[in-house]
Amino acid sequence: MFKSLRDEIDGMMARDPAARSRVEVVLCYPGFQALLLYRFSSWLWRKGFRLGGRFVSHLGRVLTGIEIHPGARIGRNLFIDHGMGVVIGETSEIGDDVTLYHGVTLGGVSPSEDSDSQREQKRHPTLERGVIVGSGAQVLGPVTVGECARIGANAVVAKDVAPHQTMVGIPAKPVQVRDDAAQKGEEPRFVAYGTPTGDLPDPVARAVDGLLQEVHGLRARVNELEGRLEEQGHITSIDEETGRDDEAAGQDVQGKC
């Protein structure tokens, strides 16, 4: 037990350069304290003491600002950085070495039913090993976020995420981010808040740029075809045709007046 706690403390220190000692993590990190209370509340929950488990989890929420339902399943070395406002729902599943930042919600999108079997149906997300979820992000419903995926700050994820994928935006869309370590088959580098620094491509802006390029290409093709037809004497330019049409329309109006 103590070895497991020490490993979790060391994992937090490895992912947070502000942590100077194990004692500091134990006394000053609400994410570690909330995890301890979760372990106890989860033990009570699985032993059948449901009210006791909920009460301990409520104490954890009051003391740390982090709400973890005792029915959630959490692996080793979960790191909740800062932590205020984090919500982890009842049927959430979190793998090893996952990192969550403040304001993260692992929520359900459908209300639980009255019967026990329906109440325990999967309603919340599954985060596989090494996932990073940035501050303010929401992962909703029984979706699966693949191994070592990254969810950018304030993103809203409602669909499955492939392993090693980076998601940004509302609704979240995948972006291609180069990771040399992952391409070499090594352990992907840790990215704080799940959002790489530098030039991060915007999927919406990229789509708009693609449409603009398509429009420019079509316009160039139309101009080329018009030029060929003018050379053959079939039509005049669009500007000339437009001018003639306007002049004819003006004459018709004058005649009617």
Q: How many domains are there within the chain?
A: 2
- What does the pLDDT profile of the chain (257 residues) look like in tens digits? 566 788 888 888 888 888 888 898 889 899 999 999 999 999 999 999 999 999 999 999 999 999 999 999 999 989 998 889 999 999 999 999 999 999 999 998 876 555 555 566 889 999 999 999 999 999 999 999 999 999 988 999 999 999 999 998 888 888 866 555 555 555 666 666 666 655 555 666 677 888 888 898 899 889 888 888 887 776 555 555 555 555 655 555 455 55
| Boundary-marking domain end, from 168, 184, 201 | 201
Is-cis flag, bond preceding 70, omega within 30?
Answer: no
Q: 121 and 234 share a domain?
A: no
Q: What is the reported pLDDT for 209? A: 80
For the whole model, what pTM was predicted? 0.68
Q: What is the reported pLDDT for 102? A: 92
Domain that residue 74 falls in: 2-201
Rama region for 35: left / alpha / beta (φ>0; ψ in -120 to 50; rest): alpha
Q: 217 and 104 share a domain?
A: no
Q: 108 and 62 share a domain?
A: yes
Q: 193 and 211 share a domain?
A: no
Q: 213 and 178 share a domain?
A: no
Q: 162 and 250 share a domain?
A: no
CA angle 48, 52, 58 (to 5 degrees): 130
Q: 52 and 158 share a domain?
A: yes
Q: 213 and 156 share a domain?
A: no
Q: What is the reported pLDDT for 252? A: 59
Q: Position 169: which residue type?
A: G
Q: What six digits make up the tokens of 6?
A: 């020490």
Q: 250 and 155 share a domain?
A: no
Distance CA 95, CA 147 (A): 9
Q: What is the reported pLDDT for 2? A: 62
CA angle 206, 146, 193 (to 5 degrees): 65
Q: What is the reported pLDDT for 201? A: 58
Q: 126 and 227 share a domain?
A: no
Q: 105 and 27 share a domain?
A: yes
Q: What is the reported pLDDT for 234? A: 62
CATH of the domain at 147: 2.160.10.10
Q: What is the reported pLDDT for 253? A: 47
Q: 173 and 227 share a domain?
A: no
